[in-house]
Every structure is written in C-alpha cells, then in structure tokens.
Structure 1
C-alpha cells in the first residue's frame, strides 16, 4: 500500500510545505474564469511564494496573529486559496463567508465590499482581475491587495508557532456551522481525499464555492492532503458539454466535482 502523502503534517501549512519539499515544480492550482477568459496555473513553488508574501502582509502590515479571525468574502479563486493558506501560516482563523462585523479583519472581492465595510478592523480588497491586477481606483477604506503584496518578503516565518490544536477554520458542514483546529482541518481533508479516491497526482476540477466545507474540500484541501492538484472554474455556467470535455482532457482531470 502506498504511504499517505505527508502523513506527519498536522496543519494545512505543513501540508503545503510537504508538497514544496516533494516536487515544487508540479502544478498545484489551475484557475479558469470563463467570463474574462483568464487561465492561471501556479506550481507548488509559485503558490508558496504568494502564500509567503500574503502571510508577511498579514503579520507585518495588518498586525494579525493567532488570536485573530479573518472574514474571507471571496469566490473560489486562486487568490482565495492563497489567502486561506496565508491565514493558516500565520495562525489566523479563516472564516469564509463570515460576518465582517464579528471579525478582526476582512478580505473581500469586488462583490463583497459593501458588506465588508461592517468590519471595524483592517480591510483588504481584491480586484480579482487577470494577472492579479489592481483596482483602477482603490476602494475607500481598504488596502488594495495587488498594490501591497508585491513588496512583501518571499519567505515567511511566524512570530508565534502555529499550534495544531489552535483554531484554524470556521465553516459549514452539511448545513451546520463548525469550528475546526488545524489538526481537525487536515484530518477532515484526508478523510475527504480517501472518500473521493484521491492519490498523488490526482487532478480535481471544482466549480464549488469556498463558502462551505464541500467547496473547500473539493477545491483545495482534499487535493492538497492527497498530494494532488486542483482546477478551479469560475463563471463556467455557459460551457457546453463538449467544452467541458475538452477542458477535462486538456487538464488531465481525474475527478470532477460541482
């Protein structure tokens, strides 16, 4: 029997480090926006570099730490995946789709800016434009992620060690709210990978939202826990069966969800 990927990893950040150590050049996240025509593919190394820069922004510029919670008002997008791993690298609890009024900071795409104003702490806006572009005009009261992140360091070390039994994720599982530690998040991700039949090299295509566990599992965590990769597709409702089939073949997809 093949040994499970990164069997000793206890947090999502440790899963990413294990992937980096095993094969930094392999694809980890591929993203399609079928409205803009964008396609982005990030290797493990490139993804990790974005995570490090974002984690440094969180820790040094936003003064976020293990006691903080971040509402992530973001779609399933490659930059959303980066923010999740950055939160877990710092020790910040990620709350996808959370109430900004109840968190210390908020990270929002263009569609969530009005709701994000309820946060009295730090606010970060993501334009979600092709090539990670900036807003044409920075939203008032927000940092523009695309303007702030390039100058951050390429390596990250947390000021406080991230403990596996500390809070990491607040999400919804089967309609019920659930608070997970880093260790519990990894365990559920491994269980999901086993249920989906994922293994090293598996390629999962997902159109699911990150606002609940099903989308997080399919679109990031189960593939990461298995040593596989993910193809995220956004605004893909108009694709025909033939177009889907061509994409599945071109991307060597092994599992399609959503």
Structure 2
C-alpha cells in the first residue's frame, strides 16, 4: 500500500506497478478439481476488461448498485475490483430487485431475474468458460469480456468516500474498505510475499477480507479455496505445503 491508495482499485494499481509478475490469486474448486493461478498483471487485465464492460456496454455509472450473486471465486474477486474501478457499489448477495444491475452465477439466475436493469451471468466453469446455452435475458460474461479493452480509464474520478461495498448489511466506502483491509492484514501478520489460504465464503466481511482485500493491501497473495470440505484427509496439509502457505483461515 502507498499513501495514494484510497480505494481497492488503487491498491491493485500499486501492486501492478511494483510486482506485476507475482501471484495474487490462486483459486481452487474442490468440487471440480479446478486450479487457476493469476498473477497481479493477469488479474489486473481481467479487472480492466470487466470495468470496461461495466462502464461501456452496461452503461454503469458511479453510485449505481450492482447485486453480486457469486460465491467465493476468482471471477468474483475480479468483479469486486472492477466495481471499485468504476465507482459502482458492489452489494454482495444484495436484492436484485433493488439493484441497477445484477451479476449472477449459474445457481442464482432465477433470483437475478428480479433485476430490472442489465443482467450478466457467469457460468463459473474452469478457465472462465462460457455457458453451453446462454441463459435467456442475460449477457454471458465469458462471451462479452474478451473483446473489452486491456486498459481502463473511468469517465469520472472515483470518490474514495462514496459507498463502494455492501456486505452483511454494512455499507462501506472505498476508503473504509482499504482501512479495514490494512487493519486485518496487520492483525494476522501479513507482510509482502505472504501466502494466505482462505476457505471462507464471500458472504461476510471476514470472507472478503481474507479472500481478497487483506492480502491485496499487504502485498501478499491469497489461495482461495471453494468447497474445501470436499478435500480428502491430509489433502489440505499437502496444499499448504505445495502452495507455500504462510497463513491459513480454512473456516
């Protein structure tokens, strides 16, 4: 983190300037066997493309509310930082009927249809794959995002004191997200180069912090695990060793 980092998007820009090649997010889905590792540069590229989709194709503006109906997943982390880049409020698990737009995984499509604005669906398939059959009434993220630009510039500067995130009924500004993330990182002793394994869902601040924000703020990386309970005995210990995990919050 630098003195000019006032939003989560600022944290990502600083990380990209300092160490673009280092790992940032390593994702496991233990229901499918998927493993994906994204460097800072690769993650930032996904964020830029998604922010361009959000600002351009979806016409989202600062202050708009996006109901984010996604599990703990590397693509969820991308959407959180894309929202921060544009100034859109990411309402995690929010009511689609009260949102300006909605981003949904495959298991929440019916719920997401309550949104009267733009709707985006993610298949959450390995390697960011698309739906075999696009869901009616939704843009397929995997179809729309590849053609977006690799660099993002917001139409208007993002106000760090404006609402940025809603989770567990609590609304936070971008500056508050950064402050909390730094506090959490210090609390568990995260330092640059640390590797934090998190098996927590993204439905609470603790899950979002350990699974994204605190490692990003500390110059560390996260090993984000979905469906961790499906691991065989001894497999978690092997993962901790193979991924060079330094800190762990499996539950």
TM-score by length of 1: 0.95
User: 1:6 touches 1:225 (CA, 8 Å); kept in 2?
Assistant: no
1:134 to 94, 107, 130: 130
Indicate yes or no: 2:214 matched with 1:222.
yes
Unaligned runs of 5+ in 2: none
1:27-42 maps to which residues of 2 (within 5 A)?
Answer: 27-42=23-38
Indicate yes or no: 2:232 matched with 1:240.
yes
1:117-132 maps to which residues of 2 (within 5 A)?
Answer: 117-132=113-128
Indicate yes or no: 2:22 matched with 1:26.
yes
Counterpart in the other structure of 1:179? 171
1:1-258 maps to which residues of 2 (within 5 A)?
Answer: 5-172=1-168, 177-257=169-249, 258=251
- 1:8 deviates by 3.0
- 1:235 deviates by 1.6
Find runs of 4+ consecutive structure 1 residues off by over 6 angstroms.
none
Select between 215-224 and 7-16 the one with higher mean Cα deviation: 7-16
**SS in structure 2 of the partner of residue 67 of structure 1:** coil
Hey, what's the Cα distance between the residues in 1 that align with 2:198 and 2:233? Answer: 15
Hey, what's the Cα distance between the residues in 2 that align with 1:208 and 1:56? Answer: 29
Hey, what's the Cα distance between the residues in 1 that align with 2:79 and 2:46? Answer: 9
- 1:246 deviates by 0.6
- 1:209 deviates by 1.1
User: 2:165 touches 2:171 (CA, 8 Å); kept in 1?
Assistant: yes
- 1:6 deviates by 2.4
Hey, what's the Cα distance between the residues in 1 that align with 2:107 and 2:210? Answer: 23
TM-score by length of 2: 0.98
- 1:211 deviates by 1.2
Unaligned runs of 5+ in 1: none
Hey, what's the Cα distance between the residues in 1 that align with 2:113 and 2:5? Answer: 36
- 1:139 deviates by 0.3
User: 1:20 touches 1:48 (CA, 8 Å); kept in 2?
Assistant: yes
- 1:7 deviates by 3.7
Per-residue Cα deviation, 1:149-182 (whole angstroms, up to 9, x for no partner): 000000000001011111101112xxxx211111
Hey, what's the Cα distance between the residues in 1 that align with 2:226 and 2:7? Answer: 27
User: 2:201 touches 2:226 (CA, 8 Å); kept in 1?
Assistant: no
Per-residue Cα deviation, 1:20-75 (whole angstroms, up to 9, x for no partner): 01100000000011121111000000000000000000000000011201010000
CA RMSD of aligned residues (A): 0.8
